[in-house]
Amino acid sequence: MKTSLRLGLLAGFAFLTLAIMPLVGRQVLPVSVLSQFGGSDPVAIIFWQIRVPRALAAFIGGAGLALGGAVFQAVFRNPLATPYILGVASGASLGVALASRLGLSLAVLGLATNSIAAFAGALVAVGALWLLTRLRPEFSSTTLLLAGVAMNFFFSSLILFAQYTASLGDSYRIVRWLMGGLGGVDLNTVLHMTPVVAVGAIVVMWRSRELDLLATGAEIAAARGVAVAPTRTLLFLATSVMIGGVVAACGPVGFVGMMAPHICRLLVGPNHRTLLPASLLFGGAFLLLCDTAARLVLFPAELPVGVITAFLGAPFFLWLLIRQASAPISR
Amino acid sequence: MSEPKIRVEDLSVHLGKEEILHGVSMSVRGGEFVTVVGPNGAGKSTLLRCLDGILEPSRGGVFIEGRSIEDLERRALARTVSYVPQPDAGAVDYTVRSFVEMGRYPYLGAWSALTEEDVSAVSQAMELTGVEHLADRSLSSLSGGERQRASIAAALAQGGSILLLDEPTSFLDYRHQVHILDLLDRLHLEGGLTIVAVTHDLNSTVSSSDSVLALKKGRVAAHGTPHELLDAEILATIYDVEFHLVEGGHRGLPLVLPARNGS
């Protein structure tokens, strides 16, 4: 099957998911609700004010996490490298934990304290990684990966410290936030995260050719004419903005960033001009499906979506890897 | 005298506190094939990286067609100089065609597709290196020799007039070594490319070249024609091993055999 056809099918799948999932819930809503935008009917309110913003946030969040993963996997030349694994998510979480623990109130521009704190934490974590690549350009991608994992543990220990010394209420809030979830999402959240994810997505897609080359190695990339250091800086910045925006909205959701680009590589091949749009679509649809499951599994209670992503994602991922080993998908 | 194609002036490079190259000067004429030899750690690969502006010297400079490499934008440099590093197992498995197409990077805009000119440069590069039949294979499925040819194809697709190669025949069996050397001969003699190749292969690669630069501990130990360099005494000072020279090499050059203890 041609790559463009596969990409088209993926787009169709993502669109269908986005169209159908808001209708699905304990109460399956009639399609006629689509025409009742702004209506005061309870069904219209559930659909337009609760489920649609939540579906959009899930889709945009998943898309951002998947793109961030694809970028890190190319820059670090390792399929395990994602912002989540390299401490960006835990940096963001630390921001939130500290803000809760210290009782900070950072609300500006209509953004919640948690959003600002998560954003700042993500920036600090990516900044540290970026600084490392600048100070030690000769570091291999494996060394950088190890450094990122070490940073992840460092942030995690600080989070544990903040949590351990917090009151029971604060401690619970931190844990709950760390599990990731879209329960508190409203239209405002969507309005806040959309521009940052969109800007990040456009920047990384604009740098597709550079990502192709960086994935073959920094030296080859430089030899082909890529200005490696400034390109990395730009990509790190775009990713941290994107991930910061997503984590601020829905907490640190794991696994999407690692799995989505990997699956898309099996589907559409490794060229970033198709891999990035595919990851965006797949990551978005995947998180939306997981969030729908999270709403339904323990109804009326809600499961944190992070529980679902790894629970569904890991076995699927293993199945794909095993299948790939026996019958490689031709490209 | 006209400006040399590549001019290296008093080049020194530090990595951390260690000095890798010390006051190296050389010049390469247009169309010349230069080999760079010397023991491990002599700074050969470092010199090559400096010629492509990948490493910044701590002193001195590199001039390509008379212009300082520091004044050249990376893409502009990539349109003149291409570099084939030592083989490296890439993490991402591109097809040979995708990989060679990436050689057109210095000509492409962010959103633009390949032009007719790009496509023809890519197929020409694949034809020259004999990898057309591998176009849709993934890089990881290639043998060492095929992979090296694909790397050279990608470098040729850049369309430059200077080709830098780091140990192009290492890790290859004899048949593939011969393929690569024939290819370099053709690129140099028919294509008029200027070639600088780092090598440990004194018999085949060095004897194909026009001149040889020997480095030792970051300094130029000798510079001359293969005839001048393939000399038992000079080689002994470069490598700290005794050599036997035997008649019968390529182009009337001697064959070089390192002497074993007690032989």
Instruction: Say what the pLDDT of residue A143 is.
Output: 81
State the pLDDT at residue A108.
63
List the single residue in B with minimal CA-CA distance to A207.
Answer: B110
Residues of A in contact with B97 (CB under 8 A): none
Residue B216, helix vs strand vs coil: strand
What is the reported pLDDT for B17? 83
Residues of B with CB under 8 A from a CB of A: 15, 49, 52-54, 74-79, 82-83, 85, 88, 90-95, 98-99, 102-103, 105-106, 108, 110-111, 136, 138, 154-155, 158
Q: How far is B93 from chain A (nearest CA, A)?
A: 7
Q: Is residue B263 part of a domain?
A: no
pLDDT in tens, B169-191: 888 888 888 988 999 999 999 98
Residues of A in contact with B95 (CB under 8 A): 269, 331
pTM metric for this prediction? 0.89
Phi, psi dihedral angles at A24 (to 5 degrees): -90, 135
Residue A271 to residue B75, Cβ atoms within 8 A: no
Q: Do A271 and B15 touch (CB under 8 A)?
A: no
Strand order in the sheet with B18-28: B18-28, B6-15, B59-64, B67-68
Q: Kindly identify which residue of chain A lies nearest to residue B104, measuring between CA atoms.
A: A224
> How confident is the model at residue A80, as a pLDDT?
79
Interface of A with B (CB under 8 A): 74, 77-79, 138, 141, 206-209, 212-213, 215-217, 219-220, 222-227, 265, 269-271, 331
How far is Cα B192 from Cα A86, in angstroms, rounded to an integer?
A: 48
Please check whether residue B1 lies inside any domain of the structure: no
Tell me, what CATH number does B234's domain have?
A: 3.40.50.300
SS (H, E, C) A200-212: HHHHHHHCHHHHH
SS3 content of chain B, % helix, strand, coil (to 5): 35, 25, 35
- Least CB–CB distance from A223: residue in B78, B99, B108: B78
- Least CB–CB distance from B158: residue in A215, A216, A224: A224
Q: Which domain holds residue B242?
A: 6-258
What is the three-class DSSP state of A276? helix
Domains and CATH numbers, chain A: 41-326 (1.10.3470.10)
- Quote the pLDDT of residue A168: 86
Determine which of A108-117, A294-303, B51-60, B70-79 has the lowest per-residue pLDDT on average.
A108-117
Cβ–Cβ under 8 Å, residues A278 and A268? yes
pLDDT at B127: 93
Q: What per-residue confidence (pLDDT) applies to A330? A: 35
Q: What is the pLDDT of residues B91-121, one digit of tens each?
A: 568 999 999 999 999 999 888 889 999 999 9
> Which candidate from A209, A212, A219 shows the least CB-CB separation from B85?
A219
Burial tier of A270 (Cβ tally within 10 Å: 0-12, 13-18, 19+): buried
B173-198 in b/e form (b: 16+ CB < 10 A) is eeebbebbbebbeebbeebebbbbbb
Question: How close B81 comes to chain A (CA, Å)?
Answer: 8
Per-residue model confidence as pLDDT tens for chain A (331 residues): 688 899 999 999 999 999 999 888 877 788 888 777 777 888 888 888 888 999 999 999 999 999 999 999 998 888 878 888 888 888 988 888 888 778 777 666 556 677 788 888 888 888 888 888 778 776 777 788 888 889 999 998 998 888 888 888 888 877 877 877 888 788 888 988 899 899 999 999 999 999 999 999 888 999 999 999 899 989 988 998 888 888 888 888 888 998 899 989 989 999 999 999 999 999 999 999 999 998 888 877 888 888 888 887 788 778 777 766 543 333 3
- CA-based nearest residue to B222, from B233, B209, B213, B231: B213
pLDDT at position B74 over 60? yes
Return the pLDDT at A324: 61
Q: Which of A99-113, A224-238, B133-147, B198-212 has the lowest mean pLDDT?
A: A99-113
Decide if B48 is inside a domain.
yes
CA-based nearest residue in chain A for residue B78: A225
CA atoms within 13 A on the CB side of A317: 18
Confidence of residue B65 (pLDDT cuts 50, 70, 90): very high
The encoded tokens of residue B175 equal: 């048949």
**Per-residue model confidence (pLDDT) at position A109:** 59
Residue owning tokens 């990881």: B140
> For chain B, how many structural domains are there in total?
1
- On the question of pLDDT at B33 being above 90, the answer is yes
User: Cα–Cα distances in Å, from B217 out to B24, B45, B128, B239?
Assistant: 11, 13, 37, 11
Mutation target among A77, A138, A204, A216 for the B interface, most CBs of B within 10 A:
A216
The predicted structure's pLDDT at residue A107: 63
pLDDT for B63 beyond 90: yes
What is the token pair recorded at B120? 């023809």
Residue B20 in any domain: the answer is yes
Cβ-nearest to B98 among A208, A223, A271 = A271
